[in-house]
Amino acid sequence: MTRGFRAYMDGKLTLAPLENPKKILEIGAGSGAWVIQAAETYPDAEVVAVDVSDLPPRPFPSNVRFVKHNVIEPLPFEPETFDVIHMRALLIHLPDVRKHLAHFATRVRPGGYLIVEEISLFTSKTTPPTPQSAVYRKAWGAFVDHMHNNGQQTELGNLPDQLLRDMGDVWESVEGRTLEVPFNPLSDDPNLNILGKSLRTSLMRAIMAEQIPERVALGLTPQLQEEYARDHDSSDPASTTIVPVRLYWAKKA
């Protein structure tokens, strides 16, 4: 997924106007791809990766440090520690999004940035509705219902711009953009098409990943997984799925 975001951002780490940050934190670092890019972009910075799961075994630059931590608990860093805190596809996983976001904000130094990027699985649309889109909706419906039943605030996590603005004068400014990302290469913007392809592949992996009994009970059956896998690679431009992606950053007052 990071490859797609990177292509969309013309190879940049973020659209936020960073000024030579010295301490960078990524929460929910996943594959570690973003922290590697951050460490290479800012070789003088200390880059901290936090995740509840271990990072995959891959080489990391020497200025990357991993801290295994569940961010439902307070972050193990002093207030105003970081010039930049970044998260992508994390908020939808958290049980009390507003509370956690408010806590993360305390770890940003004045003038620093909190960067939040989210994929709105819930509000995807298709043009026009087709059998393929029905399979997409069914599969993601069950996946998201399962997250919801686990107490994850998927709908709220989808809306980082609104959540950041709701925090009021914590921030000097909140900026960013919402993209409408097509799974099929329909956009005039080739970079948006690369992001779409990368999202399509990542979301496919998520749907195919595991057969969790609760998800199967909610309708994400092995049969639906198979249908999803079959239809998902369709390059029929008439039946694309469009997923909103929100890229926002807030500057600390």
Ligand X SMILES: C[S@@+](CC[C@H](N)C(=O)[O-])C[C@H]1O[C@@H](n2cnc3c(N)ncnc32)[C@H](O)[C@@H]1O
Integer Cα distance of 101 and 165 in angstroms: 12
* 24 belongs to the binding site for ligand X (CB under 6 A): no
Nearer to ligand X, 14 or 132 (CB): 14
Distance of closest approach, residue 150 Cβ to ligand X, in angstroms: 11
Nearer to ligand X, 21 or 28 (CB): 28
* 235 belongs to the binding site for ligand X (CB under 6 A): no
Task: Single out the segment in contact with ligand X by CB under 6 A; choices: 89-97, 128-136, 139-147, 235-243.
Answer: 89-97
Task: Single out the segment in contact with ligand X by CB under 6 A; choices: 6-14, 25-33, 106-114, 122-130.
Answer: 25-33
Q: Which of 30, 160, 182, 244 binds ligand X (CB under 6 A)?
A: 30
* 71 belongs to the binding site for ligand X (CB under 6 A): yes
Nearer to ligand X, 31 or 211 (CB): 31
* 89 belongs to the binding site for ligand X (CB under 6 A): yes
- Report the site for ligand X in 96-155 (rule: CB under 6 A): none
Integer Cα distance of 2 and 202 in angstroms: 10
Task: Single out the segment in contact with ligand X by CB under 6 A; choices: 88-96, 161-169, 173-181, 191-199.
Answer: 88-96
Distance of closest approach, residue 23 Cβ to ligand X, in angstroms: 19
Class of residue 117 by CB neighbours under 10 A (exposed 0-12, middle 13-18, buried 19+): buried
Integer Cα distance of 8 and 62 in angstroms: 27
Binding residues for ligand X (CB under 6 A): 1-2, 28, 30-31, 51-53, 70-72, 88-90, 93
